[in-house]
Amino acid sequence: MRKILLAEDNPADVYLIREALREYGVNLPIRVASDGKLVMELIAGGESSFNAEEFALIILDLNLPLHDGTEILERLRVTDSLAGVPVVVLTSSDSPRDRVIARELGAACYLRKPSDLSQFLSLGAVFRDLLASSLPSPKADRSEGVPQ
């Protein structure tokens, strides 16, 4: 089953992101990594139960302990099994430099964490839409390109 990888060290933000996803009907399991070291270990395959190909979306805070989000995003983009997974950078940073780096490293979007609850919950629509555009349709015809 496809999952969401949430790289976030703030428990309150983890809760709000879960609520935002629930609010918009995203019912995929969420794997939370609370620091950059754990994310890097997951990427490197350091956990036997981890299958990188299971991830449909990665939500990444830039300000993680032990490894920052920029370093993680760089690693994600050179890891074959994760290179195509959409990454949402969700951070408190409003730095133009961070935005440019995230875009250059292939982030699907860069979002600043809202301070208003309703705005935070509305992020669920962004996550839902990215998932909808990146997941294959359950009714997809597997014989595309094959003459009928």
CATH of the domain at 39: 3.40.50.2300
Residue 111 CA neighbour count, 13 Å, CB half: 20
Residue 46 lies in a domain: yes
* 139 in any annotated domain: no
Residue 140 in any domain: the answer is no
What's the rounded mean pLDDT across residues 108-122? Answer: 95
- Count of structural domains, the chain: 1
Domain presence at residue 77: yes
Which amino acid, 16? L
More confident site: 146 or 98: 98
Assigned domain for 56 exists = yes
48 falls in which pLDDT band (50, 70, 90)? very low
For residue 147, pLDDT beyond 60:
no
Reply yes or no on whether the pLDDT at 124 is more than 60: yes
Q: Is residue 87 within 8 Å of residue 73, measured between CB atoms?
A: yes
Assess contact for 62 and 74: CB atoms under 8 A.
Answer: no
Question: Which range marks the domain in which residue 9 is found?
Answer: 3-134
Residue 144 forms part of a structural domain? no
Better pLDDT: 141 or 66: 66
Whether the Cβ atoms of residue 37 and residue 67 lie closer than 8 Å to each other: yes
Does 39 reside within a domain? Answer: yes
* Confidence (pLDDT) at 11: 97
3-state secondary structure 120-142: HHCHHHHHHHHHHHHCCCCCCCC
- The per-residue pLDDT of the chain, averaged, comes to 85
Which of 127, 134, 136, 133 lies closest to 16, judged by CA? 127
Q: Give me 72's structure tokens.
A: 């993680």
| Residue 148 lies inside a defined structural domain of this protein | no
Average pLDDT over residues 106-116: 94
